[in-house]
Structure 1
Amino acid sequence: MPKNPTNTPLVSVIIPTYNRAWCLKKAVDSVLKQDFKDFELIVVDDGSTDDTQTLLKPYAGALKLIQQPHSGVSAARNKGIAVASSSLIAFLDSDDYWYPKKLSTQMEFFKKNPDAMVCQTEEIWIRNGRRVNPMKKHRKLSGMIFTPSLELCLISPSAVVMRKNIFTKVNTFDESLPACEDYDLWLRITCRYPVYLIDTPLIVKTGGHEDQLSRAPGLDKYRIYALKKILQGDFLTEPQIQDTEAVLKKKCKIYADGCEKHGRRTVAAYYYRLAEDIENKMKEETKPEDEAEEDF
């Protein structure tokens, strides 16, 4: 990449963190060791009560530290987006880390693809200190990936670089969601824009620790919320609406079955009714016109 002629860095890297002093150094160091240097590093400390502040003191001058009361990962990422000075945004979760060519590879991609809004890289998974292979359903795709993204999250925040102006079109992370906030955002993005994949593992995602958000119970409840929300907006085409309704009905039934199994019958009844309402709506939408007129 040519040298940036302005004083504005080409990419802003945002690391949200909360009580992650045990792993934050590795994440920060992996950014500072990038072979691409035209970036700013923003660490948003979301009200940590551990040794995070002490850990970050030696990095004064190498990063911009933002502190806020504990408000959740969405609020932390959104704060980073708000203060970022670059036109490109990269996220890195504080329990993940990058390989040295991560940014340079993605910057080269955007140079060659000026119309692209989002790209991500492949990744390596480490669980409880051991490398594991993702299941086939987690395989990353490239292009218009909205429909497969309905079932589960196919984009990793730590793997993404995206244009900052995309947030003016789809909004930022939903701060009301305690989990699946990335799933919610990716739906709003993938229904409108292709997400390109660089098929090289350039990040390491770690997991298995107790504070991992993706281990939180009842994640389908938050995915159901995200699916309902996007259906209520004006984001989707008619085929996308049909695909979303089908997945929403399926997830409602699965979540209701789980609630029923654990004796939460009132909650189960609500999600069974929701699934039934969606099924009835889908039947109405697929009726031939003459049959619909007779009902009227």
Structure 2
Amino acid sequence: MKVSVIIPTFNRAYCLERAIDSVLNQSYRDFEIIVIDDGSTDETESLLQKLLERSAQLRYYKIENSGVSRARNLGVSKSSGEWIGFLDSDDCWHSHKLQRQIDFIHSNPKVQLVHAHEKWVRNGKEVKIPKRYQKSGGDIFIRSLDQCMISPSVALLSRNLFQRYNGFREDYLVCEDYDLWLKITSEYEVGFIDEPLCTKYGGHEDQLSMKYFAMDYFRVKSMQWILENRELEISKKLALLDMLIKKGSVLITGYLKHGNFKDLHEVKSIVESASQIKCSLLKEKL
């Protein structure tokens, strides 16, 4: 059962080798590594040329800077594995990560996506993960409304599942993972391994989550898509509407406070529509 490991990277020569080595050191050996260099201007290219000499399982493509979604999607298109794993270039896998997940898939053949716990390291020190960020399996759609409940670096999913949803949205600057996982969890339960299989390193300035404000704009857009394209049971639909209204209202307050009117009308329209749908649903329940 071949796994294609996709590593997007941009100007992370300082940590990329650690990520690649964590895959090369996997106890499970049937994999390929595809690194997509998203237009790096540091020493990434020379580092990868050196690493290519160490392993025939490693391939490398360099493209103009297009964003992490484009890089991941391109990596998948260049791959051949039945299963797809993603690894952010500042994270690293534990040596038994793939073996644990492949064993889980063999024992649960209907599962199309399996993820796990992770370790967090911030500024060189391991930190305790707050309860609201603790991962879980099964039906996690409602939990996934507030924030991303699956880390790309820990997920392993079937190629068929990834292709069914056309991969990551390339028009999203951030929250592209939230969007894909929300689409998947609206229709599927997910597998889960109750142990850390990846270490995520944070605190550095080049993390996308530290570059962008008003990230909930993209989450609101994703919830709107689900609302328009999924037939949800009423409890899930109400939970979605509540979260959409909550996040949209916070965005509107922030837009008005800071004089940012670019997305104000769009978000107001989405929130007003969601409020009307919620009122109609509640009347039907009476």
| CA–CA separation in structure 2 for the residues paired with 1:266 and 1:110 | 45
The C-alpha deviation readout for 1:16-64, integer Å capped at 9, x for no partner, is 1111111101000110011111111111111111111101112223401
Pairing 1:195–2:190 present: yes
| CA–CA separation in structure 2 for the residues paired with 1:156 and 1:141 | 11
Rg larger in 1 or in 2? 1
Indicate how the Cα distance of structure 1 residues 266 and 179 shifts in structure 2: closer, same or farther if over 3 A, else same: closer
Aligned to 1:222: 218
What is the aligned-residue RMSD (CA, Å)? 1.9
Residue number among 226, 243, 246 corresponding to 1:247 in the alignment: 243
Aligned to 1:232: 228
Residue number among 114, 120, 131 corresponding to 1:125 in the alignment: 120
Indicate how the Cα distance of structure 1 residues 72 and 209 shifts in structure 2: closer, same or farther if over 3 A, else same: same
Count of residue pairs brought into register by the alignment? 282
Other structure's SS at 2:118 match: strand
Shift of 1:121: 1.6
Pairing 1:44–2:40 present: no
- Normalized against structure 2, the TM-score is what? 0.92
Determine if contact 1:248/1:275 at 8 Å carries over to the other structure: yes
Aligned to 2:90: 95
Q: Which amino acid aligns with 1:47?
A: G
Q: Which moved more, 1:274-283 or 1:199-208?
A: 274-283
| CA–CA separation in structure 2 for the residues paired with 1:189 and 1:239 | 18
Determine if contact 1:97/1:204 at 8 Å carries over to the other structure: yes
| CA–CA separation in structure 2 for the residues paired with 1:270 and 1:71 | 25
Q: Which moved more, 1:204-213 or 1:61-70?
A: 61-70
Aligned to 1:161: 156
The C-alpha deviation readout for 1:210-234, integer Å capped at 9, x for no partner, is 1111222111111111111222224
Aligned runs of 1:124-143 on 2, under 5 Å? 124-143=119-138
Aligned to 2:70: 75
Indicate how the Cα distance of structure 1 residues 44 and 254 shifts in structure 2: closer, same or farther if over 3 A, else same: same
| CA–CA separation in structure 1 for the residues paired with 2:41 and 2:261 | 38
Q: Which amino acid aligns with 2:31?
A: F
Aligned to 1:3: none
Other structure's SS at 1:159 match: coil
Once the two structures are aligned, what percentage of the paired residues are identical?
Answer: 42
Shift of 1:69: 1.4
Q: Which moved more, 1:123-132 or 1:266-275?
A: 266-275
Q: Which runs of 5+ in 2 are unaligned?
A: none
The C-alpha deviation readout for 1:175-224, integer Å capped at 9, x for no partner, is 00010000000001111111111111110001111111122211111111
Indicate how the Cα distance of structure 1 residues 94 and 235 shifts in structure 2: closer, same or farther if over 3 A, else same: farther
Q: Which amino acid aligns with 2:226?
A: I
Aligned to 1:275: 271
Determine if contact 2:31/2:57 at 8 Å carries over to the other structure: no
Determine if contact 1:11/1:38 at 8 Å carries over to the other structure: yes
Shift of 1:281: 2.2
Pairing 1:55–2:47 present: yes
Aligned to 1:144: 139
Determine if contact 1:191/1:235 at 8 Å carries over to the other structure: no
Determine if contact 1:31/1:98 at 8 Å carries over to the other structure: yes
Other structure's SS at 1:54 match: helix
| CA–CA separation in structure 2 for the residues paired with 1:81 and 1:112 | 25
The C-alpha deviation readout for 1:124-151, integer Å capped at 9, x for no partner, is 0011222111211111111010011001
Shift of 1:13: 0.6
- Normalized against structure 1, the TM-score is what? 0.89
Aligned to 1:212: 207
Determine if contact 1:192/1:235 at 8 Å carries over to the other structure: no
Q: Which amino acid aligns with 1:283?
A: C
| CA–CA separation in structure 2 for the residues paired with 1:212 and 1:242 | 33
Residue number among 85, 91, 106 corresponding to 2:101 in the alignment: 106
Indicate how the Cα distance of structure 1 residues 42 and 267 shifts in structure 2: closer, same or farther if over 3 A, else same: closer
Aligned to 1:258: 254
Pairing 1:287–2:283 present: yes
Q: Which moved more, 1:256-265 or 1:22-31?
A: 256-265
